[in-house]
Structure 1
Amino acid sequence: MDTQKKGIGKGELIALIVSSCIGTGIFGITSDVAAAAAPGPALLAWLFVAFGFLMLVLSLNNLSNKRPDLQGGIFAYAGEGFGPLGEFISGWSYWLSAWLGNIAFATMLMSSIGTFIPTFKGGQNVPSIIVAIIFCWLLTILVNNGVESATFVNMIGTICKIVPLIIFIIIMFVCFKGGMFTADFWGKVASNATKGTTTGSVWTQMKGTLMTLIWVFIGIEGASVMAHRAKSRSEAEQASVISFILLVIIYVLISILPYGALTRAQLAGMGQPALGHVLEMTVGHWGAVLINVGLIISTIVSWLSWTMLPAETTMLVADDKAMPKAWGKVNSKNAPTTSLMITGVLQTIFLFSLLFTEKAYEFAYSLCAAAILFSYLFVGLYQMKLSSERKEWGQYTVGLLSALFMFACMFLAGWQEVLLVTISFIPGFCVYYAGCKENNHKFSKAELWTMGLILVLSVIAIVLVFNGTITIS
């Protein structure tokens, strides 16, 4: 008798993770990295960020192996280690990050379509917003009709969008000139070839790339979030490692090889999507068309992944009684309908706000990156706690390094965005209160102090916004 568990297979999980990470960010990464760093510092930044995310992946795999009973994955770890409030903070931050990422996808999608249809040029006018909202609800309905079936569409789309990136890498290898690549390897020389870019210390250049590199790695935890739907835990773990290796190779090649084809000033001055402009300058207009088509496919498929993940998040947190039960209610297709609808409505409202925001894409993805650091931090902290209890000091070190990396990113690259994220906990704690009341959970002193501290930070953030210290694009 066939007793194999139905669910998402390893190949589909790899497609989900790679698709979740490879969204709009990779198509603009060339100019963003070049503006902040020369090839040497950029490679060191990649080494630093890749090491940090490797510690996160190893922590997730260890926790999945040691605590398979925690079906909520990344959020359940926070709950097990730090109580219902810890799980809520982790889940709320992840949910916020996910749908803010969708806003970034919407802006970039309409902007790229504007390359072919001038009506949508810029991606922030009324026609663009209306079409983006239609996309939002079409994807919501697709996921609502069955999460497992949506992953098949995601896998096909992932294959389609990888092809332009592979072509880009091949062309960059052919056009690569060693002399141009090493001309100012450490970014110490100010010249016409580096005009409009950061020069100076290696550390300053590295720090300038951090938020960009974090943004393109978001989604690496996808297998953990969806692990309870996988055919097996071992397949989810393998998918995480394979996806991480593939992503590092793709990201480094795409962001570093162009330094050998064009000057750093040319790369930094590229419009978006930067990869399209790079190919246009090296092989002609057909290169820009190829990249824009790839970008459109990439954005739609990534948007699908990130329609699945936020709804899955609130369902798992609600199942653990850290949110109201309504957020975890599923339909006959086992999809969290209520959560999908709430998220869809909020995305619709936020999309209209793009009419009044000058740089919607940059603002949305910077908040997305800052919010998810909270969730990642809890993984490292629980890895430390569990490993300490079991006296597994090697695993404890992995967790420590992961947590230190997340703290470093918060303070070095995104402290303003982190403060802005705390504002979301003003309504968030109202949701948490409703969940606690529904589940007869009384606040502990530690929870009250923690919520009080976060609310103080949110008030500070509001004050800094009004006095101009923190600027919103």
Structure 2
Amino acid sequence: MTSQEDTRATRTTVGVWTLTAMVVGSMVGAGVFSLPSRFAEETGVAGALIAWAVAGGGMLTLALVFQRLAVRRPDLDAGVFAYAKAGFGEYTGFFSAAGYWASACVGNVTYWVLIMSTLGAWVPALGEGDTLVAVAVSSVGLWLFYLLVRRGITEATAINRVVTVAKLVPIVVFVLLALFVFDPAVFAANWGGESYGSLFDQVRDTMLITVFVFLGVEGASVYSRHARRREDVGRATLLGFGSVLAIFASVTMVSYGVLPVEEIAELRQPSMAGVLDAAVGEWGTAFVSVGLIISVLGAYLAWTLMAAEVLFVAAKDRDMPRFLSRTSARDVPISALLLTTVLSQVVLVITLFSADAFDFALDLTAAMTLIPFLLAAAYALKLRLRRETYDGAPARTLRADLVIAVLATLYTAFLVFAAGLDLLLLSLIFYAPATLLFVMTRREQGRAVFRPPELVLFGVVTAGAVLGVVGLATGWVTL
């Protein structure tokens, strides 16, 4: 047994089905229940079909990138940040780790907002998840989950397997019931979307929605240090991606056959409940609401695990301060878990000042994930162009990996463009102060804080953050 295998054997290990459950559990959360109105706000049937084709194809190339990197660089754990560091240097790796971690924390806030909005249909004080009462109740739930995860990784992943199965049932039932009342005439009337602008604009404007719902495709890669076999990481990624793509596209398309697009766009979140209410009556709202709460709590558990895992592995690799590498007797990264919960709490309070708490948290989550995704795809392309780890590889493998890496890089670059300047600047407002963790790390190691290229990157990030703050102050950047 190699030293790496021996180290892996001493950890809590999980198999391919548990890893797949982590991928599905991470991806199927708040986003799927908001898809009908989020899509209807931007496009009709034609644009939605193209958007899912583009997003499905683009995210498939990204999933394949994670699959190949897991095999070609088995020494790199917590894949997303580790690939950025290996390919483009320590500060870039830190940049990727911090952004990915923060996106997970912001994404966790969307779960609580959506739960409170769902309950707000019966408890007016909760509003749409953005009232003071809603934030207070969400905060209690947030810290209860912190205590749950502290109990141990094994217990948390076992709960996630059960919840992953439970959450899929109401979604599948929704699709079947919507198909039962599906009206071809309504679907045909919703085909166009000329009022939304050009077809290109419609597709571009839906891209950030698809990014959010596909977050988690890298879940097995992030959790790879616990994989029983390295090959299971790639298999779980593809199994989870294929299953979830079919679910997301089905939920979106069947909704266009139940209500006119203008009515779908006006539904309160979770809009899936409104569609089912129109299809089968008021019990549909209750049915979807129960399914949503189960689904969202499961996704919250999975994302909390992944966010803490990123900080922990970064600290173990000496890319974050040492205190974040502390673990409990049950293999829980307790300091990383605490910092993750604290950031989620801060963002939860910020939603009180946003125009639309759910959309703000959802879009910011997607935007902050784009840079780590882009860097991972670019690293796969760099490996292939330099033929690193490709000694003796057949020509067919070389061609396939080149095509995949190029397409994944182009797709993620397009997503950065589609996100827009506002969200990019809001992301940089986080990235600049987060560099304090990088400074702490370098000082712990007795090293110079920045090398010249890193200083240039820090300068660009800081300038963007200042511009973002000015934009918020003057009103041309909004929450």
Whether the aligned pair in 2 keeps the contact of 1:34 and 1:268 (CA below 8 Å) is: yes
Comparing 118-127 with 102-111, greater Cα deviation is found at: 118-127
* Residue 49 of structure 1 pairs with residue 55 of structure 2: yes
1:417 correspondence with 2:414: no
Does residue 459 of structure 1 match 2:456?
Answer: no
SS of the aligned residue for 1:232 comes to coil
Pairwise CA distance, 1:457: 1.5
Match of residue 338 from structure 2: 341
CA contact (8 A) 1:55 1:398 kept: yes
Aligned-pair CA distance for 1:393: 4.6
> 1:324 is matched with which residue: 321, 326, 329?
321
Contact 1:107–1:360, Cα closer than 8 Å, also in 2 = yes
Matched, 1:123 2:129: yes
Aligned pairs (5 A) from 1:10-29: 10-29=16-35
Deviation string 1:108-167 (CA, Å, 9 cap, x unpaired) is 112212334444343233332222112111111221221132011011111111111111
The aligned residue for residue 286 of structure 1 is: 283
Among 248, 261, 266, which residue is 2:263 paired with? 266
* 1:364 alignment partner in structure 2: 361
Return the alpha-carbon distance in structure 2 between the equivalents of residues 328 and 355 of structure 1. 33
Deviations 1:205-248 (A, max 9, x none): 11121111111111110000001111111112111001111111
In structure 1, the partner of 2:238 is: 241
Specify the code of the residue in structure 1 equivalent to 2:226: R
Aligned-residue Cα RMSD (Å) equals 1.7
Equivalent residue letter for 1:466: A
User: Between the two proteins, what is the percent identity of the paired residues?
Assistant: 31
Q: Partner of 1:169 in structure 2?
A: 175
Q: Give the conservation status (yes or no) of the 8 Å contact 2:110–2:361.
A: yes
Q: Report deviation, 1:20.
A: 0.9
Q: SS of the counterpart of 2:288?
A: helix
**What secondary structure sits across from 1:231 in the alignment?**
coil
Of 113, 117, 120, 2:119 maps to: 113
Which residue of 274, 292, 296 corresponds with 2:293?
296
Q: TM-score scaled by structure 2?
A: 0.92
In 1: Cα distance, 2:321 partner to 2:226 partner:
22
Q: What residue number does 1:192 align with?
A: none
106-115 vs 217-226, which deviates more?
A: 106-115
1:48-127 pair list within 5 angstroms: 48-127=54-133
Q: Provide, for residues 39-62 of structure 1, a one-character-per-residue CA deviation record: whole Å limited to 9, x for no partner.
A: 111100111111111111111111
What is the deviation of 1:445? Answer: 1.2
Which residue type is aligned with residue 52 of structure 1? Answer: G
Q: Per the alignment, do residues 180 and 351 of structure 1 end up closer, same or farther by CA in structure 2, a change over 3 Å counting?
A: closer
Structure 1 residue 184: deviation in Å? 4.9
1:471 is aligned to 478
CA contact (8 A) 1:384 1:397 kept: no
1:399 to 386, 405, 415: 405
> Aligned-pair distance for 1:78?
0.9
3-state DSSP class of the match of 1:49? Answer: helix
Displacement of 1:397: 2.8
**C-alpha displacement at 1:350, in angstroms?**
3.1
Structure 1 residue ranges, 4+ long, deviating more than 4 angstroms after superposition? 3-6
Aligned equivalents of 2:160, 2:324: Cα separation in 1: 24
Does structure 2 conserve the Cα–Cα contact (< 8 Å) formed by 1:211 and 1:414?
no
- Scaled by the length of structure 1, the TM-score of the pair is 0.93
Residue type of the partner of 1:373? L
- What letter corresponds to residue 354 of structure 1 in structure 2? T
Between the two proteins, the alignment pairs up a number of residues equal to 461
Q: Which amino acid aligns with 2:339?
A: I
- Which letter does structure 2 place at the counterpart of 1:62? R
Note the residue ranges of structure 1 that are not aligned, 5 or more in a row. 189-197
Q: CA deviation at 1:304?
A: 0.9
Please state how far the C-alpha of 1:352 moved relative to its aligned partner: 3.0
Q: Which residue of the partner structure matches residue 140 of structure 2? A: 134
